[in-house]
Chain A
């Protein structure tokens, strides 16, 4: 418990440092000025999103192979955190694009693929909400997560192939090309900080899912021993769960 508190505090400190660095230490960009500073968190959230979805994909495969509940819990946690990061990316993107390119949205390959990715994993969460039986929910949503993950490279490839055949809007002007050394250091810090936040949230979400499961287990235990849940007599079951 104490270790968790320390880690959380450290990550909070890290993200504060990253925020400070992005806002005050990184040099001003020549053409975009202050608005460019959103870039540090925009890129970092994309990065975290891919990690989270990869965790979800891995956990889904692991669930179908082993049938262990914990993988299902990790899968849903990965998707939820991934969708969160994706939403942040999808919001910061247009905020940045509007003043710089003069448009909120462009149907560029990366943007479009990410949007589809977001839709797919929202559908995953919907599916989980609509299936009653927990085992069915776990296996069907794992199947869907695997299909969705397989689809993502195809979506990106299709969009890449497609957009190269059409006049392409100027995007990001090759941001990786001429990055100032300080800028890349700040970017690295932000990548690390957001990644740590993502992992922290992911682990907490995973714990929550396991706790929910334990809770259901305990309720079941109480019920099956014929004890009344409202009575204090439920202690034997609680002790067993506490082991």
Chain B
């Protein structure tokens, strides 16, 4: 395959170039990045998490990823988060028609848009032995944000943890941790937001805050990919619904379509 040969030749150079390029990148990239999956397959040994998923998510779309446990939602999100390489196929990041980064098999090409991606994972991605403020400060530093103290204070205030700034995350309730996890993921103002069951553990009040936060992100033009297997009010924001089953796209309302039918099916299921 000459194409893949060529890719691997440019790969090393791209890797080399990626680091200085990242350093010069501004922390808050303009919010117009889309993600597209091209026939993505992912296997863990003989277990297949994804069996050829093709999805083109345009910049600014709010996609609800639906499907039962084991459908491949988490794997898809982790791949978009650059945490995992597809076994086959490619994951592309697009800026309008231009491809700004892609991963083909085990290879990553061009700059990895790490600055532009935020993930709320299955786990909280927080250090239990650090305080809420210390956790956020750590990530603010790693993302080289400006005015770190202000940014962190604002974020903590926003997620309603201002009174627990100095407490260890270990002492937090499930809902508080989740709120902090969401605040951490959004701290660097990513334009691609990946949410894996973000409502887990949130109470009614937390959910309301979360939905409001998402609505703001949506109006800012962020691309949102949210997986869920249960109904919650933030789903009303979705412009598109994609149902996965057994590692394949089972049903897709499409970029121009109406997600309500699919979402309604989810609701009656519960």
A residues with a Cβ closer than 8 A to B are: 66-67, 132-135, 216, 219-220, 223-224
CB distance from A33 to the nearest CB of B (A): 55
Contact A66 B8 (CB under 8 A): yes
Chain A residues near B43 (CB, 8 Å)? 220
> Which residue of A is nearest B87, CB measured?
A135
The 0/1 profile, CB within 8 Å of A marked 1, for residues 107-126 of chain B is 10000000000000000000
Inter-chain contacts of B107 with A (CB < 8 A)? 67
Contacts of A67 in B (CB 8 A): 105-107
- Docked Cα-Cα span, A66 to B5, in Å, equals 10
- Say yes or no: B48 contacts A224, CB within 8 Å: yes
Q: Does B45 contact A (CB under 8 A)?
A: yes
Q: How far is the CB of A210 from chain B (nearest CB, A)?
A: 16
Could you tell me the distance between the alpha carbons of A46 and B87 in the complex, rounded to whole angstroms?
39
Chain A: minimal CB distance from B75 (Å): 13
Contact A216–B45 (Cβ < 8 Å) = yes
Given contacts A219-B46, A220-B48, could you give 10 more A-B pairs where the C-beta distance is less than 8 Å? A67-B105, A67-B107, A132-B45, A134-B44, A134-B45, A135-B87, A216-B45, A223-B46, A224-B51, A224-B247
Whole-angstrom CA separation of A134 from B48 in the bound complex: 13
- Residues facing A in B1-41 (CB within 8 A) are 8
Closest to B42 in A: A135
Chain B contacts to A: CB under 8 angstroms? 8, 43-46, 48, 51, 87, 105-107, 247
Q: Please state if A223 and B8 are interface contacts (CB–CB under 8 Å).
A: no
Interface of A is mostly: helix
Instruction: Looking at the assembled complex, report how far the CB atom of B9 sits from the nearest CB atom of chain A, in whole angstroms.
Output: 11
18 A-B pairs (CB sep. < 8 Å): A66-B8, A67-B105, A67-B106, A132-B45, A133-B44, A133-B45, A134-B45, A135-B87, A216-B45, A216-B46, A219-B46, A220-B43, A220-B48, A223-B46, A223-B48, A224-B48, A224-B51, A224-B247
Residue of A nearest to B106 (CB): A67
In the assembled complex, the Cα of A29 lies from the Cα of B18 at a distance in Å of: 65
Report chain B residues within 8 Å CB of A66: 8
**Chain B residues with CB under 8 A of A216:** 45-46
For residue B249, give the distance in angstroms from its CB to the closest CB of chain A: 14
Given the complex, which residues of B lie within 8 Å of A135, measured CB to CB? 87
A106 to B106, CA, bound (A): 47
Contacts of B45 in A (CB 8 A): 132-134, 216
Tell me the smallest distance from the CB of A130 to a CB of chain B, in Å: 14
Inter-chain CA distance A163–B247, complex, in Å, is 60
Q: Which of A132, A135, A223 has the most CB of B within 10 A?
A: A135
Residue numbers in A under 8 Å from B106 (CB-CB)? 67
Which residues of B sit under 8 angstroms from A133, Cβ to Cβ? 44-45
**B8 surroundings in chain A (CB, below 8 A):** 66
Q: What residue in chain B is nearest A132 (Cβ atoms)?
A: B45
Complex Cα distance, B44 from A134, in Å, reads 7
Chain A residues within an 8 Å CB radius of B87: 135
Q: How far is the CB of A173 from chain B (nearest CB, A)?
A: 51
Quick check: B46 and A220 within 8 Å, CB to CB? Answer: yes
7 nearest interchain CB pairs? A67-B106, A224-B51, A216-B46, A134-B45, A219-B46, A133-B44, A224-B48
